[in-house]
Amino acid sequence: MSFLATIKLVLRGLIARKGRSVLTILGIVIGVAGVIIIIALGAGAQSLVLGQVTKLGTNLLNVQPGKSSETGPPAQVFGVIVTTLKEGDADALRDKVQAPHLTVVNAVAQGRVAVAWENRSADTNMIATDADYNQLVSFDMQAGRFFTPTEEEGGTAVAVLGSVVSDALFKDAGVDPIGQVIKVKSAAQTEAGGVPLRVVGVIEPRGSAFFQDQDDQIFLPLAIGQQRVLGKNYLNAILAKVDDAANIQSSIADIKRILRREHRILGDEQEEDFTVRNQAEAVKILSSITDALSLFLTAMAAIALIVGGVGILNIMLVTVAERTREIGLRKAVGATNRAVLTQFLYESSFLTLMGGIVGIIAGIVLAYLIALLMRQLGYDWAFVISPLSILMAVGVSVLTGVLFGLYPALKASRLNPIQALHYE
């Protein structure tokens, strides 16, 4: 029998059993679409994680108070208050003789505050820092400017707002935030009504970084925010920028040496009361986590494909049983074992191929919709469809059809035509 004649015979058989064929295809669609979506989600998550380096600055070192392991989170993550970092530590790290490759060193104190303007208020994150913070972290100004070294050193009561805070206070009122006086109050604040601050700038929307909204923040000079608003004398972090990626490890060693001297630590590393983290290493750790998660989810999708293959096996076995007399008749009029084998293999392969094609289309569409949703939520989520994932999905679906269709096809081809004709 010619190839075209076999295809026509296969199509007639599948159309005659439309409901069963559709259900079989659906199982493959779910598995293939799952593979496409999961690989796309993994690529999107990778792009999100890698994009954080640009947002939070490149060649950036983060000094955290308290000792933690190389891969474990700092104590602050668990709500533990550690007071071992002081402003003097940041000043010591600015010594070019002791740390020649640190171009910018920034002290950071932060906490939750309530911000008010007239009858409007908002709860937000406050970052008290130095005037050169914008040399560490990349951002553009939507309006106004960042506070200056003169304002920082003089203790000028000024503030820079993230776009979310600015909109919450001023958007509905139709007022230009620049020059307006807001009041900022923390749980530890003693001044009645909060500390009055003049708004000098609003930062362009930046989205989220490491799953934190970078627009739901306000920035104050260190002395004002740390002492008057938060009422504390310690830092939450020290950020340091290295002149070149090749000098990161030597700069980490410099920071440890300087802080050990400042904190009078004479013992081994276990006695250190601080942790130095490479921002790029943090991204690598997150990338490895997303890789492992993607691999796990892909395995789950592969199981769905196997389940779909078992469905094909079941359907094809039932089909062989139902069509025993038809097979016997074909063999009685001259059909060879090879022709019967080919027919049933074509049927199972066609079912999985159709499921693979529909699954690819469905997977791409759903992955695109997920990417749109993530962008609407403020994440820099890339829509990435790997050609390899499409080839793998098609290949696996066809292979599933062949493997799970092989036994029923062999069973059909080996039927004795005389027994098959007498089959009831």
Question: What's the pLDDT band for 47 if we cut at 50, 70, 90?
Answer: confident
Give the model's pLDDT for residue 349: 75
Give CA–CA dist 343/413, Å, rounded: 9
Q: What are phi and psi of 117, to 5 degrees?
A: -145, 120
Mean pLDDT across the stretch 306-327?
66
pLDDT of 210 > 60? The answer is no
Q: How far from 408 is each of 256, 315, 316, 336, 419, CA to CA, in Å?
A: 69, 9, 6, 16, 17
pLDDT of 107 > 70? The answer is yes
Give the model's pLDDT for residue 177: 93
Domain coordinates of the chain in residue numbers?
3-53+284-421, 83-272
Mean pLDDT across the stretch 317-346?
68
Enter the pTM of the model: 0.61
Give the model's pLDDT for residue 127: 93
Residue for token pair 């906490």: 111
**Which carries the bigger pLDDT value, residue 265 or residue 57?**
265
**Lowest-pLDDT range of 85-94, 355-364, 407-416:** 407-416
Give the model's pLDDT for residue 114: 92
Give the model's pLDDT for residue 6: 56
pLDDT of 408 > 70? The answer is no
pLDDT of 124 > 90? The answer is yes
Mean pLDDT across the stretch 12-34?
71
Mean pLDDT across the stretch 105-134?
91
pLDDT of 167 > 60? The answer is yes
Which amino acid is present at 161? L
The three-state DSSP-derived secondary structure of 255-300 is: HHHHHHHHCCCCCCHHHCCEEEEEHHHHHHHHHHHHHHHHHHHHHH
**Which carries the bigger pLDDT value, residue 44 or residue 141?**
141
pLDDT of 1 > 60? The answer is no
Tokens read off for 284: 């690598």
Question: What's the pLDDT band for 58 if we cut at 50, 70, 90?
Answer: low
Mean pLDDT across the stretch 6-29?
67
3 state SS of 123 = strand
Give the model's pLDDT for residue 147: 94
**Which carries the bigger pLDDT value, residue 173 or residue 161?**
161
Give the model's pLDDT for residue 415: 62
Give CA–CA dist 216/164, Å, rounded: 5
Percent over 90 (pLDDT), the chain: 25
Give the model's pLDDT for residue 193: 72
Give the model's pLDDT for residue 170: 92
Give the model's pLDDT for residue 329: 66
pLDDT of 144 > 60? The answer is yes
Q: What are phi and psi of 234, to 5 degrees?
A: -125, 165
**Which carries the bigger pLDDT value, residue 240 or residue 287?**
240
Mean pLDDT across the stretch 390-401?
72
pLDDT of 105 > 90? The answer is yes
Give CA–CA dist 304/389, Å, rounded: 16
The three-state DSSP-derived secondary structure of 357-412 is: HHHHHHHHHHHHHHHHHHHHCCCCCCCCCCHHHHHHHHHHHHHHHHHHHHHHHHHH
Question: What's the pLDDT band for 334 if we cut at 50, 70, 90?
Answer: low
pLDDT of 423 > 60? The answer is no
What is the 3-state composition of the chain as percent helix, strand, coil, each rounded to the nearest 5?
Answer: 55, 15, 25
Q: Give the tens place of pLDDT for each residue, 65-97.
A: 887 765 555 555 545 677 889 999 999 999 999
Mean pLDDT across the stretch 313-332?
66
Mean pLDDT across the stretch 206-221?
80
The residues near 419 (Cβ < 8 Å, ≥ 6 apart) are 328
Average pLDDT score, the chain: 78
Question: What's the pLDDT band for 202 if we cut at 50, 70, 90?
Answer: very high
Give the model's pLDDT for residue 277: 83
The residues near 239 (Cβ < 8 Å, ≥ 6 apart) are 57, 60, 61, 62, 63, 104, 105, 106, 108, 133, 136
